[in-house]
Amino acid sequence: MADHPHYVGRFAPSPTGPLHLGSLVAALGGYLDAKSAGGQWLIRIEDLDPPRAVPGADRHILKQLADHGLVSDQPVRYQSQRLHQFDEALSVLRDKGHLYFCNCSRRSYPGLYPGTCRARGMAFEQPAALRFRVSETTIKQKDLAQGALTWTHGKDFGDFIVHRRDGLHAYQLAVVVDDIAQAVTRIVRGADLLSATPMQTCLYHAFGVKPPETLHLPMVLGRDGQKLSKQTHAPPVDTEAAADNLNQALRFLNQPIIASDNPKTILDTAIKNWRIDRIPKLIGKTL
Ligand code: GLU
């Protein structure tokens, strides 16, 4: 234990609905990984998109987590209270020449953004988004669960939006600014966010900060093969069955299950048992 004395991890749900088993797996995996390393585990509510937010979902998620024994080691941070810091970060990127204005609509290009506005040098006009000009050809990452990965600019990811045309800060920007501000050293999350990693790595490089390690857990798939998500109406985790839910999540992550009906006992034992090399090296898996 305590092989990473400065380990800081986090769980960063968007408050778009209650916690389901897929998000519980991500929360539990992150918690066990942080605690087994003697580190801190933080919770951050990513409430930057008011139209998608469900009123009260933040409190519901925090209550569900707490009922499973999963509590943040620091006061819970809300991204909606950090708009000023995100604006400052945008200024830094703009001053360094990393951003350009873009007024292309999402419908005007089928797949990856082809960089249409890159060379236009457009002055600010409404409505326009701010995009990050990717200068790196490839991004490599050794993910702790998924192994060595390489993404190529123009093939796997394109220049990406950091400030949306509706005036909202984009997820890619906010997540990196906050992970830097909270000194996060390892990101544990679902493999649905694997494709965001190269864009986030570009931002770390632009800010001159070493990117955190990553550990992308397999996504929980429903019987239809689709990721469990709030959009597909995955049922909320039932906090009356917290011990069973934790054991289901442990089984999913290929960790030993623990015969107890006390969430705290399960967590304490699961911390001792936690082994990254047992995690299935898969993008998605049914329960
Ligand atoms: N807020 C994101 C989500 O709920 C997760 C962000 C992250 O873990 O990087 O999908």
pLDDT digits (tens, 9 = 90+) for 182-239: 999 999 999 999 999 999 999 999 999 999 999 999 999 988 888 888 777 789 999 9
Cα separation, 5 vs 30, whole angstroms? 16
Residue 89 host element (H or E): helix 83-95
State which of 180, 193, 219 you would mutate to test the pocket of ligand 1, scoring each by most atoms of that ligand within 8 A of its C-beta. Answer: 193
- pLDDT for 236: 95
- Phi then psi for 272, rounded to 5 degrees? -70, -35
In percent, the amount of the chain with pLDDT more than 90 equals 87
Stretch 153-164: mean pLDDT, rounded? 97
- pLDDT for 277: 98
Stretch 161-180: mean pLDDT, rounded? 97
> 23 alpha carbon to ligand 1 midpoint, in Å?
10
Q: Which residue has the tokens 């995100």?
A: 86
- pTM for the model stands at 0.95
> 127 alpha carbon to ligand 1 midpoint, in Å?
26
CB count within 10 Å of CB 234 equals: 20
| Residue 1 pLDDT greater than 50, yes or no | no
Q: Which residue has the tokens 């960790």?
A: 255
Alpha helices in the chain (DSSP H): 21-36, 57-67, 83-95, 171-181, 197-207, 242-252, 263-273
- Give me the chain's average pLDDT, please: 95
State which of 28, 31, 77, 175 you would mutate to test the pocket of ligand 1, scoring each by most atoms of that ligand within 8 A of its C-beta. Answer: 175
Indicate the pLDDT class of residue 118, thresholds 50, 70 and 90.
very high
> 14 alpha carbon to ligand 1 midpoint, in Å?
6
- pLDDT for 4: 55
- pLDDT for 249: 98
265 token code pair:
């006992």
DSSP 228: P
> Do 223 and 46 form a contact (C-beta atoms < 8 A)?
no
- pLDDT for 5: 59
| Residue 128 pLDDT greater than 90, yes or no | yes
| Choice among 7-21, 144-158, 221-235 with the minimum mean pLDDT | 221-235
46 CA closest ligand 1 atom index: 1
- Tens digits of residue pLDDT in 53-108: 999 999 999 999 999 999 999 999 999 999 999 999 999 999 999 999 999 988 88
In percent, the amount of the chain with pLDDT more than 70 equals 98
Q: What residue ranges line ligand 1, CB within 6 angstroms?
A: 12-14, 46, 175, 189, 193
Stretch 154-173: mean pLDDT, rounded? 97
> 122 alpha carbon to ligand 1 midpoint, in Å?
31
